[in-house]
Structure formats: structure tokens, C-alpha cells
A and B are shown apart, each in its own frame.
Chain A
């Protein structure tokens, strides 16, 4: 029960800080679930991340899986609600406030400021979590290759996932 309460409170705090969405949160999720609470091993965390990437639906499914691992279906529900409710309440009230703003300059300023913060957090997150998840040089090479292809093409993410999975099954990663 106390694990559930801790999970709920920590994830609720993350929700209100996650500029850039779940992708910006990965190191914080790792820190909480692997380093601090020992709910999962590094390997399981990496595997849950992979499952959530490959599965259909929002990327917050990593959080759902962590909750499920901690306390079954109830844990999954608690974790999913925790990661959503603070930001949902915020956006519910802010949407009208921001879109009705008379001062367009102010509106632009807030958007510009938040987007820079989001970009930085997402990139920092990718960097931070890669050292936990990528176990060898081949994995880093695959990450790097993915970045390059993403930058220069418009491939659907599923192609990347398919190729990555296939390379892994062949024992190359």
C-alpha cells in the first residue's frame, strides 16, 4: 500500500514538471523506479520502455507498465491516473486562458519559452537514458543511425521499430 501511495505522489509531481511530455521524464522515471525504490532492474526498465515504444497508444504506457509491475492492474491504474491528473487539470484551465489572451505578444512569449525548455529536456532525457539503456557500441550506433534517418526522412516510427526489433532478433544489438 505504501508503495502505491509513493508511486502516486511521485508520479503526480512529475506530471506537473514534464515540459516536453513523457519523453522528457525518462531519466526521472528511471531514478525513481530503479535507483531509489528498486521496483525494477535496469534491464526490466529498458524492456518496458521498448514494449511501450512498440505498442500502440500514448508513450506514457511506460508509466503504466511500471505501475503494473509494482502492484498489478491496480498499480497500472494508479500510475496512469497519477501521471495524467495534474497536467490535465492545468491544461483544462489554461487552454481558455491562453487562447483568449488579448496580449498576443505575451502568448507568443510563453510558447517560445516553453518550447525551448521542452526541447532541452527531451534531448537531455534521451542523452541521460541512453547511458542506462544502451548496453554496447552497436546499440549506440543504432541510436545514432535512427537520429540521422529521423532528421532527413519522414519515415513512420513503426518502420524504425520494426528494423530495430529485427536487428535485435538477429543478435546484432
Chain B
């Protein structure tokens, strides 16, 4: 189930909540699960946003946020690299990864354009790897 949530675009955790919630109670279950997932954290983060408005002038707060955001990018990149195992099993797939990384990261191409170009590439290579259907 987790696999399916990761291949569909969109916020992964919300997708998972939709899958789990709908297993229990259909559309209402999905709605309930997503609301349950979102309400608490949204309230907390808005509260933090208000605190930020009052205290963001403090050098300590600015420094703390700079440190956290630098680490946050590292967490994202590190997790992304860890996800790459399957691509190493079939190295041609690294072409898709490399293309996407360079198009999005270096050339700053828009998300829609990158997906549009990379989707046929990745489907074709996956088709070659898995074999005729």
C-alpha cells in the first residue's frame, strides 16, 4: 500500500492517509484520516508562524532557522539518494534520474515540463527492464 502512495504524485503522507482511511470507511474514512492528519500540525505550524512574526528579528532565531534549513535540504537530498537503490540495479534508469536532476536542479525547468519529458523516458526504460507486457 505504501508503494502505491509513493508512485502517485502529491503529498505522500496524505496519499497514505487516503489509502488507509478509505479501506476502513470509503470516502468518509479517507476524509477523516486526512483531516485527522492535518488539523493538529496545521494549528501548531500557524502558531509557530505567529511566533516567527514577533521574534524573527532576533539573531539567535535567524541563525537557528538558517541552520535548520541547511540541514533540511541535506535530509531531503540524503533521503533521495537512499531511494536510488532500484535504479542502480538497472543502470540505464540512472539516465532518467540524471536528466531530471539536471533539468530541474541546474536549468530550473518548470515541474510540468520536466515531468512531461521524463515520463515517456522513464516508462520506456521501465518497459525495457520489465520486459514485454
Interface positions of A (Cβ within 8 A of B):
13-28, 31, 46-61, 64-65, 68-69, 73, 76, 80, 83-84, 86-88, 90-92, 94-95, 98-99, 103, 105-106, 108-130, 133-135, 139-140, 142-151, 157, 160-161, 163-173
Q: What is the distance, in angstroms, from A148's C-beta to the closest C-beta of chain B?
A: 8
A83 to B22, CA, bound (A): 19
Q: Are A143 and B37 in contact (CB under 8 A)?
A: no
Chain A residues, CB < 8 A from B59: 171
Residues of chain B at interface, number, CB under 8 A: 89
Q: Which residues of B contact A92 (CB under 8 A)?
A: 18, 22, 27, 30
Which residues of chain A have C-beta atoms less than 8 A from B130's C-beta?
105, 108-109, 112
Q: Which residues of B contact A (CB under 8 A)?
A: 1, 3-15, 18-19, 22, 27, 30, 34, 37-38, 40-42, 44-46, 48-49, 52, 56, 59-60, 62-84, 86-87, 90, 93, 96-106, 108, 110-112, 114-115, 118-119, 122-123, 125-127, 129-131, 133
Residues from chain A with Cβ under 8 Å of B60 in the complex: 169
List chain A residues, Cβ under 8 A from B103.
124
- The answer to whether A46 touches B7 (Cβ under 8 A) is no
Is B70 a contact partner of A54 (Cβ separation < 8 A)? no
In the bound assembly, the distance between CA atoms of A126 and B1 in angstroms comes to: 26
Q: Find B19's partner among A91, A148, A169 (CB 8 Å cutoff).
A: A91
Which residues of A have CB within 8 Å of B44?
A: 55-57
| A65 x B67 contact (CB < 8 A) | no
26 A-B contact pairs sorted by A residue (CB < 8 Å)? A15-B10, A15-B11, A19-B9, A22-B11, A50-B69, A57-B44, A80-B38, A84-B38, A88-B14, A88-B15, A105-B131, A112-B130, A114-B7, A116-B122, A117-B96, A120-B118, A123-B81, A130-B73, A139-B66, A143-B73, A147-B74, A161-B71, A165-B65, A165-B67, A166-B64, A173-B66
